[in-house]
A and B are shown apart, each in its own frame.
Chain A
């Protein structure tokens, strides 16, 4: 499949990329969402701005009490990072479930968040880990809490003229447990349902889902119901999963089946967090 014609540029800095960015251009990182869309002619930008090699967008580092992942870090970079294994092991666990090795070598965290596929894995994990998305425009930078970032079907709070530069996470306290549990679509390897859950040492939880509705979401009803993490409390929490949501319906899963899977994967995630 051949896409429409476009121009291609590969600037060396974020500032140079921002100078080129206009309504007729698209940011290219790993390209594993954008290029398939171009090939299907679902998208027809006049120009691609390739940011995948900009040095300031790569890498994973500590900054004070935060862990910072560059927007152009690949799934594979995250999977192999010792800092991630130490502080956000859910990300290594989850990254290993994204696509396949070849896709993980190219796809990026920033690209996945900007694209906001309703079945992508990162959004649920970023929500559960309390991520903050840092974006840059010609007028400066701003930070968007992951709670406010995903606004709907393939939609985010990212505005035109902005590029995601990094995603910041508070370093979880000693004793925090976290997991990502996914029911995978075996051909595309996207999540039919994915549940990311994090348990703080004080017993409070953050629980987020992907694949269930038109956008990833935090399930505060479940979070508030885990209580003392007893079997009864967890079953009560599981029963509240995705209440009142409008479910995705496709040829893989009906509303009833998807809701059932969401409860099953919520239970699996919560049980993985028991001491």
Chain B
């Protein structure tokens, strides 16, 4: 067993874990944060995407012990404090960016990382940024529209704050 301490969605947790425990399993089964999904379990589909120290990573292909000492954000902690939803979550709702919804949390976590450094993306850049996320309903068109909607909303929110 190995002791890990991680900060997840702003809250610090310490646990004794087996070294072979995957980060995705730690989040889902130990912390009960089931918004992070496990789809392909082979690092292809991206539904397990979370943020590790601010960067998007696939939590099915990482060990929980590798995250020791790191800060993690999952879909449950994405909305800014005081808001019910993140602009991306609103965007997916507004633009019908989900059908079955299984890939949605991974799509949103990938897009959130992408929009941090690309606040004004082209459609092509959005499609390129979401290459690591598969939607088996093939609803990509509305997913891209949802990200565009969120980018616009985030720009407007920023203008209001400024």
Contact = CB atoms under 8 A, between A and B. Distances in A.
Interface of A: 1-8, 10, 28, 31-32, 35-36, 38-39, 48, 50, 52, 76, 99-103, 105-106, 187-189
B63 A187 contact: no
B131 to A, nearest CB: 5
B161 interface: no
Contacts of B73: none
Given A32-B61, A52-B66, A105-B56, A39 B41 contact: yes
Interface of B is mostly: mixed
A102 B110 contact: yes
B95 interface: no
A101 B42 contact: no
Give the size range of B's interface with the partner: 20 to 34
B58 A102 contact: yes
B41 A38 contact: no
A50 B42 CA distance: 20
Contacts of A28: 66
A99 B62 CA distance: 16
B43 interface: yes
B63 A101 contact: no
B66 A101 contact: no
Nearest to A100: B132
A7 B65 CA distance: 11
Given A99-B132, A100-B131, A101-B132, A31 B44 contact: no
* 8 nearest CB pairs, A to B: A100-B132, A8-B19, A105-B55, A100-B131, A102-B58, A3-B20, A102-B56, A8-B65
